[in-house]
Structure 1
C-alpha cells in the first residue's frame, strides 16, 4: 500500500546504556494507541571524552537514515528519551553513570543539529506518560509507574501531574529500604531483577541464568531462591507502601522484566503491602500494558504536545499581529 506523504509522524528514540530503540510513531486520534513503523535497535554510541556530543551525532545520523528510508512520511518533530537524571524543563541530561555525561544540554544541541523541534525526556518518565495516557494507568490521578528490571525507577503522578523536581523525582530504586539481615540498602540492591540474579549467583556455584530462573527454582523447592525472591518482594512492597503513605498513590503500574512473573510477583506483593499499611486504601497493582513500546510512544506524545504548543503560540502571535494592523 502506498502511503501519501501527508501522513505525519514523530521519529522517536529511546536511548539505553547498551542500545537505542527507534521508530516512526504515526499520528493517532486522541485516546488511541498510535502505530509505530520500522522499529529498530542500534548499539548506543558511547564516548568517554565527549559522551553528549557523540550521542547527538549518533541520533542525527539515525534521523538521516530514517528520513531517507521513509520519504512517504513527513517527520514533524523528534522525541528523545534518555536514562539517568534528567531536567526535562531545561532539556539537560544531568547525570548518567553508564553513559558518562554531566549537565549536557541535549535539547538545545539536538534542535540546532536537527533543525526540528525536539521533545527531550527521562526514559521512565515518558514511558509513564504513555501508560497514564493510553495504557494501564489511564484514569489514575495518583499513580506510580514502576519499572523493575536491571535497576528500578518510577514515574510518580499526584493529582494528575507527574512529579519532576528538576529530574530528581522517581528514583525509588536509590531510596533506602530495610536490607536482608538488617540495616539499610538502596532498594534496587534487593528488589531489582538484577539484584535477584546477582544475589543468587553469589550464593549458588555455577548458576547461569536470570531472575526468571531464580523464580523457577523457588517454585520447585529451592529454599535459597525462595528466600531471595521473598526478600525482593519485601523491598518492593516497602517502597510502594511508602509512596502510598506519603503521596497517596492509588494505582501501581508495574513494568520491566520482573512484571512478566505475573501472579508470582503480584499476589505476594499485594499481601506484603497490605501488612505494611494501616488506614490507607490499598493500591491496585496492574501490569503495564504498552510493553517495550511505552518509551517510544511517550516520547512521541511529548513531541506532539510540543508541536501543539508551538502552533498555539504561532496562532496567538498571528492574531495579535492582525489586531495591531486593524488598529493602525
Structure 2
C-alpha cells in the first residue's frame, strides 16, 4: 500500500506491506498552490515509491492507495472540498486517482489520518479519548472519542478558522484573525519577519528560549490564542490527552510546557496531559496507509 500526505510545505509518503509495516519512505517539496495538479503530485509520488521499491529489490506491486490532504475533505465521497493554502475546491480526488491507479483508493483528512496512526501505532495507543492538534503551515484538530476518530462533516476539526482576533492578520481563507493566521508556524514566521528579523517559526522558538522579549510576546500571544480554542473542545469532550504535532511541535517544552500550564488554568483542573505526537511528520502518511489497508478488508 502507498500512503501519501500532501502538506502545506512537503509531501510525505510511505510504502507499506500487507501487515502495515513501512518498507520505504519519501519526502519532497509541495509545489506552490498546486490546485488540481495535486492529482499529478500524488500520482508522481506513488510512482517514485514504486520505482524505488524495484531498485531496492522489493515487491513493487501496488495493492491500494491512501491519500490525505488538508482543508475540507468529504471522506465518504472522496472529494477534496476546499483548501485555503493549496488552492483547490470541489476536487473529486478519489475519482481522479482511481482513474490513474487500478487499485482501491482511500481519501481522507490529513489530521484525522494522523490521529488514526497515533491511536494505532503512536502516542495515543490504548488511549480512548484524545485531541490531536497539528500546528504547521495551517492548524487543524482531530478528536478521538471512545476509541474512534470523529469524522462528522467536512468541517470537523477546522479549528484553524475560528476567529480569535477580529482585527488580526488576514487568513488564507480571506477572513481576519483566524487562529491559523495568529498561531500557526507560518503565522509566527510572518510576524517575526515583519519585525525585520530573519527566519521562520523555528527561529522564533530559539529566540524565546534565549529570552528575546519580542519573540516571547509573539509566542505567548499564539499560545493564548491556542488555549482559547482548544480548552472548550477539551471541556466539551472530556478529553484528557492533547497530542501536538506538526512542525511547531518540534519546539518541545518551549511550546508544550506553557501550553499545558495555560490549559490547566483555563480548564480548572490538572487532569490533562499535553505531549508531542510520537510519529512525527510521518503520522499522516502512516494514517493514509492505514486507510488504504482498510479498503482491502
User: TM-score w.r.t. structure 1 length?
Assistant: 0.79
Instruction: Decide whether aligned partners of structure 1 residues 277 and 36 sit closer, same or farther in structure 2, where only a CA change above 3 A counts.
Output: same
Cα deviation, 1:157-184, whole Å, max 9, x if unaligned, reads: 2222222222111111111236799xx9
Matched, 1:291 2:274: no
Which residue in 1 is equivalent to 2:83? Answer: 96
Contact preservation (8 Å) 2:8, 2:138: no
Q: Give 3-state SS (helix, strand or coil) of 1:170's partner.
A: coil
Structure 1 position 130, deviation (Å): 0.4
Q: In structure 1, how many angstroms separate the alpha carbons of the residues matched to 2:25 and 2:201?
A: 30
Of 57, 70, 73, 2:53 maps to 70
CA distance in 1, matches of 2:233, 2:210: 33
- 1:268 aligns to 2:262 (yes or no): no
- Indicate the residue corresponding to 2:191 in structure 1: 199
Q: Which runs of 5+ in 2 are unaligned?
A: 169-175
Counterpart of 2:246 in structure 1 is 256
The question of whether the paired residues in 1 share the 8 Å contact of 2:24 and 2:53 is answered with no
SS in 2 for 1:27: coil
Quick one: higher RCO (CA 8 Å, sep 6+), 1 or 2?
2
> Which segments of 5 or more consecutive residues in structure 1 lack a partner in the other structure?
1-9, 309-328
In structure 1, what is the Cα distance between the partners aligned to 2:23 and 2:274? 27
Shift of 1:93: 0.6
| SS of alignment partner, residue 70 of structure 1 | helix
Q: Which residue of 2 aligns with 1:127?
A: 114
Alpha-carbon RMSD across the aligned residues, in angstroms, is: 2.5
CA distance in 2, matches of 1:174, 1:23: 29
Q: Decide whether aligned partners of structure 1 residues 241 and 40 sit closer, same or farther in structure 2, where only a CA change above 3 A counts.
A: closer
8 A Cα contact 1:180 1:231, kept in partner: no
Q: Tell me, in whole angstroms, the C-alpha distance in 1 between the residues paired with 2:32 and 2:98.
A: 19
Larger mean Cα displacement after TM superposition, 10-19 or 143-152: 10-19
> 1:200-244 deviations in whole A, cap 9, x for unaligned?
322x33x11122322332333322221111111211222221111
| Aligned residue-pair number | 286
C-alpha spacing 1:117/1:214, structure 2 compared with 1 (3 Å) = same
Question: 1:45 Cα deviation (Å)?
Answer: 8.4
Counterpart of 2:43 in structure 1 is: 60
Aligned counterpart, 1:144: 131
Larger Rg: 1
| Match among 16, 19, 24 for residue 25 of structure 1 | 16
For residue 258 of structure 1, report the CA deviation from its aligned partner.
1.7
Q: Pick from 6, 11, 32: which aligns with 1:15?
A: 6
Match of 2:171 in 1: none
Residue 99 (structure 1) shift: 3.0
Matched, 1:214 2:204: yes
Pairing partner for 1:110 from 92, 97, 111: 97
> Any runs of at least 4 consecutive aligned residues in structure 1 with deviations exceeding 6 A, and if so which?
none
TM-score, normalised with respect to structure 2: 0.86
